[in-house]
Structure 1
Amino acid sequence: MKQAHDPATQPCGAFPLHNTQPLADFVDSGPALGTPVTPVPAPPPPAGSLRATAILLLGYAILITGNGLLGTLISLRLIQQQAPSIVVGVVQSAYYVGFMLGAVYGGSLIGRVGHHRAFVTFAAASACCALGYAVWDADAVWVALRFITGFCLVGIFTVVESWLHQVASNAQRGRVFSAYLITNYLGVGIGQFLIGLADPAGFELFSAVAALFTASLIPVALAGTAPGPIAAHDTHAGASCGARLARGLSGLQTIYRWAPLGVVACLAAGLLNSAFYTMQPVFMRRVGYSVPDVSHFMGFALLAALVPQWPVARLADLFDRRKVLLCLAALAGSLSVLLFMLRDGVLIEAVGYLYVAVAFSMYGVVTSYVNDCVPADERIAVSAGLLLIFSLGASGGPTLASAMMALAGPAGLYLFTALVMGLLALLTLRNLRTKTPARRVADAR
């Protein structure tokens, strides 16, 4: 199947691309043109590989639960140490800087030692960092530990995602990755509820994080045979560091050329996601919430983020994705203004749940919109470019949000998000008025 796409005549579109295929599917290595080809279904993965994948996801769930606990715990601990908001922001931004660099440089380790050993290496290093927070209180040390943790965690994400790509057949890929995303949200959400088990000022919760990181190694060690060697064209783990960085920069240029709105929207999604994860606990503690209240809100909020994913994706498939993005940005901006102005605890929580549900639905719409716009043979580079843009936004979110909180008080977090969403809504509206969507292109069948 080949996608009809004429970059010279089709402007940026806003319609779904069904059955998107990897680059290899667009390379003609078979019979001559015009020869009818009967598609041969790929053989299903062996049952042992699927069992190993399920066990791997169990290990990942344990680890991501620990990471969800750690992210909120660090913010709460810094508040109890009377650290200024800007210090909290800088420490938490270091995680996303490490995440961004790990996405470029960490994959080479997986290519050299394989999935199992790479997972063990990254998880063990993360466990050591978790204990380091309890031993040292210096802000500079915490910045370094957060950077290393971010580098290691994106390495683990790369291990899991590349593993899933290799063992899942085309027919199973959507379900497998849905299970992966659900595991991610549930793990991070459950991690929030563990904060109430002990005082953040003590050693116990950091020990619990280290224990969870270490416990995640047990299922992985029992997972059986890992997938085969990573192919040379694997964009996640097999490519050289220089090639992956070049691909990310190339993808960024492609996105800016064909879908400039996608650059701003992806950057905004990164800013909002990281600002909420890291600075929401600071906001809640500063306005009077107890540690258990913060724990419960963060947990339920991240679980609430699961609810609108399917409905929003369905709407984005039915209508111009830019209109869906405009609605999300306008709604998130309006909810941010309410959160900036509200002082009642019950209303803050209710509006906060709505805000998270809306804001966390944005990234999927953005990636779909960008892939509508770009030529099919650029999608691999574009995927790397989107990750780079999101990481850039995420690395700046905590610092910028904390600076606004220092100027406007704790509620400055939502003044920051309101400004980001307002700007995105204006740029999206301008794009809708000046650009015409590409016509819907049906897949050849």
Structure 2
Amino acid sequence: MSSVLSIAALLTGSALLLMAGGLHGLLLPVRGLAEGFSDASLGLLGAGWAAGYVAGCLAVPVIVKRVGHIRSFGVLASLAAIAVLLNLLFMRPEVWIPLRAVSGFCFAGAAMIVESWLNERATNQTRGRIFGIYTMINLGATTIGQMLLTLGDPAGFAFFVIGSIIYSLSLLPTALSTAATPAPLTQARLDLRQLWRNSPVAVVAILLVGVSNGTFGTLGAVYGRRIGLEVSDIAIMMSLALLFGAVIQVPVGLISDRVDRRGVLVGMAVAAMSIGTTLAFAGGFGPWTVIMLVSAFGGMIYSMYPVILAHASDHAAPGDFLKTSGGLLLIFGAGTMIGPPAASLLMAATYPAALFHVTAAAHVLMVAFTVWRMTQRRPVDTEDKSEFVPVISTARYATPESAVLDPRAEEAQEEDAA
């Protein structure tokens, strides 16, 4: 408890950041639809966020090194708050898309700075506890942010202002924190050749998970609105998808620690593909049937990332956990840039549920490649596996600093030192 209380201010700042991100991310597609934005432009919002987020993970460590943590966080949180208000002032897709990239850049950088403070305060004895609490708080904050949309009409200006206020409030805990200035931020590095040598399945699967999760995360609200769901139903649907992903990670982790993780990944991909195909081809479902099916779909796709990360860690060299997780994060971001634009074009040309054709295509490719690789390489022995650790469900909010806080990073460094 004392270790948690010592970082309460930082956890509060992180929660406010995630709350604003959850609200902003769901508000834009819902409001964009009301303003008559095309599905293609809404898909580009997701690509813009992903591009900005990846750029933030790469560039913000350099900025922090030049001007320090507190100044950098203040600038990034302020820019994120300004971007939300500019969304309100300029209701045009050609303005929203670059603003979404700015939001992604600022969000990634601000999250990394908060996490670096948490990393500084974590010890070998408390790292796992702090990581678990941090993950739960961020999941809860994201859910609360999305559920705020159930409290009013998104057609007005209030939710934009609220989002900007929450981003601004996230400044206060870090600005007033008495914690010592942390070490320089961790920079994500992509060594695709080494990642491929270690685990081809992880490289291909993480790219396809980025396609699938980015498509659903960006256009799930558009799909819901197009089929006639109310805004409150959409908020519940997207929030339950996140929560199901968090809950399902527990049994998935237990199973994947005992059997071939690739088989677990195949099973989850088949389940997601089956649910998505049902939603794409079967019509006439009531709102709550759609919500529960989509929630189950989200539970599957949001549980894949930690399985892939654990599988890659099983094959990585001792001490390479940070390099592995950082590289996978960048590949995931690349997939997130591909999926939403492709799905939005297909939705515009056909019908709303066509987004599940894109996710199904990603899952089919994942299953085919993974099954083939299972015939080429024997599974890792149970005693040689790294421990499965649940991570933030969407992976859209994971950063290189998230990987440093992961207890596996400390274990890998200790093994390498030994």
TM > 0.5 fold call: yes
Equivalent position of 1:309 in the other structure: 249
Q: CA deviation at 1:50?
A: 5.2
| Structure 2: gaps (5+ residues) | 386-414
Q: For 1:288 and 1:369, how far apart are their aligned partners in 2? A: 40
Which residue identity is paired with 2:262? R
Higher helix share: 2
Match of 1:214 among 164, 168, 172: 168
Q: For 2:67 and 2:254, how far apart are their aligned partners in 1? A: 40
Identity of counterpart residues, as a percentage? Answer: 33
Match of 2:57 among 80, 103, 115: 103
* Paired positions, count: 385
Q: CA deviation at 1:379?
A: 3.3
Q: For 1:228 and 1:296, how far apart are their aligned partners in 2? A: 38
Equivalent position of 2:279 in the other structure: 339
Alignment of 1:200-211 (within 5 A): 200-211=154-165
Alignment of 1:4-83 (within 5 A): 51-83=5-37
Equivalent position of 1:416 in the other structure: 358
1:399 to 2:350 alignment: no
Q: For 1:270 and 1:58, how far apart are their aligned partners in 2? A: 28
Q: CA deviation at 1:191?
A: 1.0
Q: Please say if residues 52 and 223 of structure 1, whose CA atoms lie closer than 8 Å, have aligned partners that are also in contact.
A: no
Which residue identity is paired with 1:119? F
Equivalent position of 1:235 in the other structure: 186
Task: Spell out, residue by residue over 1:354-406, the C-alpha distance to the aligned partner (whole angstroms, 9 max, x if none).
Answer: 11111100000001111111222443322221111011111222112212212
SS at match of 1:224: coil
Q: Please say if residues 70 and 174 of structure 2, whose CA atoms lie closer than 8 Å, have aligned partners that are also in contact.
A: yes
SS at match of 2:179: coil
Which residue identity is paired with 2:230? S
Q: Please say if residues 52 and 224 of structure 1, whose CA atoms lie closer than 8 Å, have aligned partners that are also in contact.
A: no
Q: Please say if residues 37 and 93 of structure 2, whose CA atoms lie closer than 8 Å, have aligned partners that are also in contact.
A: no
Distance 1:377-1:173 versus aligned 2 partners, 3 A rule = closer
Equivalent position of 1:323 in the other structure: 263
Equivalent position of 2:379 in the other structure: 437
Match of 1:389 among 331, 351, 367: 331
SS at match of 1:199: coil
Q: CA deviation at 1:52?
A: 4.6
Alignment of 1:274-285 (within 5 A): 274-285=214-225
1:147 to 2:101 alignment: yes
Q: CA deviation at 1:327?
A: 0.8
Task: Spell out, residue by residue over 1:314-345, the C-alpha distance to the aligned partner (whole angstroms, 9 max, x if none).
Answer: 11111111111111111111111111123202
Which residue identity is paired with 2:213? N
Equivalent position of 1:269 in the other structure: 209
Q: Please say if residues 10 and 118 of structure 2, whose CA atoms lie closer than 8 Å, have aligned partners that are also in contact.
A: no
Which residue identity is paired with 1:352? V
Rg larger for: 1
Query: Normalising to structure 1: TM-score of the pair?
Result: 0.82
Q: CA deviation at 1:164?
A: 1.9
1:133 to 2:87 alignment: yes
Q: Please say if residues 116 and 226 of structure 1, whose CA atoms lie closer than 8 Å, have aligned partners that are also in contact.
A: no
Q: CA deviation at 1:223?
A: 2.3
Equivalent position of 2:129 in the other structure: 175
Q: For 1:175 and 1:408, how far apart are their aligned partners in 2? A: 47
Q: Please say if residues 401 and 413 of structure 1, whose CA atoms lie closer than 8 Å, have aligned partners that are also in contact.
A: yes
| Structure 1: gaps (5+ residues) | 1-45, 237-243
Q: For 2:198 and 2:17, how far apart are their aligned partners in 1? A: 38
Q: Please say if residues 265 and 366 of structure 1, whose CA atoms lie closer than 8 Å, have aligned partners that are also in contact.
A: yes
SS at match of 1:318: coil
